[in-house]
Amino acid sequence: MSRTPLPLTETSSPDHGCGCGCGHDELPVLDARVIPGAIRHGAILGAISQVRPGSGLVLLAPHDPLPLLQQVREAYGDTVDIGYVDRDGDLAGGDGVRVRFTKVAA
């Protein structure tokens, strides 16, 4: 059985204050374009469930994920803030849409 790594990348900011270089101020990016469609929404909902209050993640989606956003609202209500980072990407060129999910409460 081969393992496919989860397409989650840590972004880093070399100067965020504590000097460790690990990028505490940057949110991880989950690239949903490489998750099979049959499990995509479940994988994203699972990733959001693991985010600690006060933190979040950025989703890179192959299209404007309106059905997913509705699922997130139904599952998490007001405990997760949703906002577009980039809604105008070149979808035909593979840029995708970026959406930020921030957990505000447990």
Q: What is the pLDDT of residue 7?
A: 56
> pTM (2 decimals)?
0.74
Q: What is the pLDDT of residue 18?
A: 43
| SS3 assignment, position 35 | coil
Radius of gyration of the chain from its Cα atoms, rounded to whole angstroms: 14
Q: What is the pLDDT of residue 91?
A: 64
Chain length of the chain = 106
Per-residue pLDDT of the chain (106 residues; tens, 9 = 90+): 555 555 555 444 434 344 444 444 589 999 999 999 999 999 999 999 999 999 999 999 999 999 999 999 999 999 999 999 988 867 667 788 999 999 997 7
The torsion angles phi and psi of 48, rounded to 5 degrees, stand at -65, -35
